[in-house]
Amino acid sequence: MCFRRTLPALLASAVLSLAGCATPATQNSIRTLQAGDGDSLPRQLPDQPLALGRFHAPPELAGLASDGEISSDRSGWRQWLFGDPDTRLTVTVYGLPAGWRDLDEERVVSGHYGQLRQQRINRVYNSDNQSIRFTSERLFDLEGHLTASARYLVNQPDRRPLREVLLLTVDGDHFVRIESGSRERKTTELLQLSKRALAEFRAFQASH
């Protein structure tokens, strides 16, 4: 099955649904989660920590060499960095908040995508001279997993645009987030690169 509904409509339904699960929460708003890294990573609740030790990453992903790992056992997330001189890519895993685990997959993915989207916009608008333009936002089935994707351009005076791509999906009890960026590659190429990285990351988990 292929999902191609527009994200604005999905975000609207997710906002209403997530608001009903929070205690307390402002009506018509997504529940605000605690951040674990730069206001971008939801914090896993301490009574249900994500077992980070079960996740591993290969020395190379989608043709990009590993550039290290960052993790926080306390906050429940792990992130791997990959890159070459022209491209950077990160893979981040973290658990679903307990209040979201009974929601359907569409509400979870579209709702969290809305949070990530707003956080990216805030980082740009809090800078002195950047602007952002989203060129594509989709919710679709990717190899049996509901996935949100976004392509956007970050502009800065006297520099080539920074092209970025976000992939977000949920695998059972955790999110998998792929973020890539380049001033040299087009967003269509970055999207294919990110899909390849996600597939290779999943295959590596299955074999280790």
Contact 110, 103 (CB under 8 A): no
Query: Which pLDDT score is estimated for 55?
Result: 93
Query: Which pLDDT score is estimated for 6?
Result: 43
DSSP string, 70-133: EEETTTTEEEEEEEETTEEEEEEEEEPPGGGTTS-HHHHHHHHHHHHHHHHHHHHHTSSS-EEE
Query: Which pLDDT score is estimated for 74?
Result: 79
The amino acid present at 15, given as its one-letter code, is V
Phi and psi at residue 110, to the nearest 5°: -70, -35
Band (pLDDT 50/70/90 cuts) for residue 69 is very high
Joined together, the tokens standing for residue 65 give 């060499």
Return mean pLDDT, the chain: 80
In 3D space, the residue among 46, 6, 11, 48 whose CA is nearest the CA of residue 30 turns out to be 11
**Which are the contacts of 21, defined by CB distance < 8 A and separation ≥ 6?**
31, 99, 100, 103
DSSP state of 52: G
Per-residue model confidence as pLDDT tens digits over 120-169: 999 999 988 899 999 999 999 999 999 999 999 999 999 999 999 999 99
Per-residue model confidence as pLDDT tens digits over 4-57: 344 444 443 443 333 333 333 333 222 222 233 234 444 445 446 678 889 999
Query: Which pLDDT score is estimated for 19?
Result: 34
Band (pLDDT 50/70/90 cuts) for residue 75 is confident
Q: Taking the model in full, what pTM does it have?
A: 0.78
Query: Which pLDDT score is estimated for 48?
Result: 61
